[in-house]
Amino acid sequence: MNTASLRPVVKRSAESLAVEALRSHVLSGAVPPGQRLTEINLAERLGISRATLRTALHRLTLEGLVHQIPYTGWEVASLTGHDAWELYTLRSSLEGLAARLAAEREPEVKKSVHEAFAALKRTCKTRDYAAAPLFPMPDTDLKGYLIGATVPVGPGLIRAAYSRVSYDTDAAPTALVPVPDPKAGKLSLSYVHNLSKRTALYATVARISNKNGAALTVGGPAFITTSVFAPRTSSGYDLGIRHAF
């Protein structure tokens, strides 16, 4: 009898199966960030005991997908501004490394990278409105850069970043009044002090400077400006403590 197609059966515990099911449930976006997770409901839907469910949820807290709130329960982890800053700082480093490795590859590989980048630029210049704008808007090209640095200092880290963006709106200047392109720059400085392997204090300060009618803010999207008023600067602060359970 030919048994080449047979493979050993992988024995898995109920906790491992519950962790995999809950992880897929969270990562699929079925539950939004900050949503409460009810033990009774989840245990019934998964067909496991609440003790097994708690073990699986504790595993997910170590992965950063779920937070346990004392005397309250569990909730899906939310992405804070500081978390996003860490993710994109790491992503910028990895993308730079990927570009350097791609440049060292064969010409065929570099050609495919250039074609993919050209397709990305064409997509960025294509407008796809869900609804037609109320007023005609000129085409806008964004140009900018981002630089950052991380310096270990004792038990903590100092992080600094500066970014700048300019808007090429293709607006036609008049004979008397030239139309300068809006520009904005952002400077941020943060410090993370590690109290232990799982607990840290953090503080971040950021400031945006707008010129020529740019209306960016630290807290989110652009300020809804009029022809009379536009914010020249915007400042923000973020202080807190984080702990991994």
Per-residue pLDDT, 189:
93
User: Stretch 205-211: mean pLDDT, rounded?
Assistant: 90
Distances in Å between the Cα of 206 and the Cα atoms of 86, 127, 160 are 15, 31, 10
The token pair that represents 67 in the structure block? 């937070």
Per-residue pLDDT, 135:
46
β-bridge partners, 183: 166, 211
Q: Which of 80-84, 94-98, 166-170, 173-177 has the lowest mean pLDDT?
A: 173-177
Name the average pLDDT for the chain: 79
The percent of residues in the chain predicted with pLDDT above 90, rounded, is 12
CA-derived radius of gyration, the chain? 25
Whether 77 has a pLDDT exceeding 50, the answer reads: yes
Count other Cβ atoms within 10 Å, centred on residue 73. 13
pLDDT tens by residue, 9-61: 667 788 888 999 899 888 888 888 888 888 898 889 889 999 999 999 999 99
Whether 1 has a pLDDT exceeding 80, the answer reads: no
Per-residue pLDDT, 217:
83
Give the model's confidence band at 92: pLDDT under 50 very low, under 70 low, under 90 confident, else very high: confident
Per-residue pLDDT, 32:
85
pLDDT tens by residue, 125-160: 665 554 444 445 556 677 888 899 888 888 888 999
The answer to whether 56 and 66 have CB atoms below 8 angstroms apart is no
Burial of 79 (0-12, 13-18, 19+ CB in 10 A): exposed
d(CA 152, CA 212): 37
CATH class of 14-76: mainly alpha
User: Stretch 219-225: mean pLDDT, rounded?
Assistant: 57
Whether 162 has a pLDDT exceeding 90, the answer reads: yes
pLDDT higher for 96 or 230?
96
Q: At what angle do helices 50-62 and 39-46 cross, to 10 degrees?
A: 110
d(CA 82, CA 202): 9
The answer to whether 155 and 117 have CB atoms below 8 angstroms apart is no
Per-residue pLDDT, 107:
74
The answer to whether 65 and 24 have CB atoms below 8 angstroms apart is no
Whether 208 has a pLDDT exceeding 80, the answer reads: yes
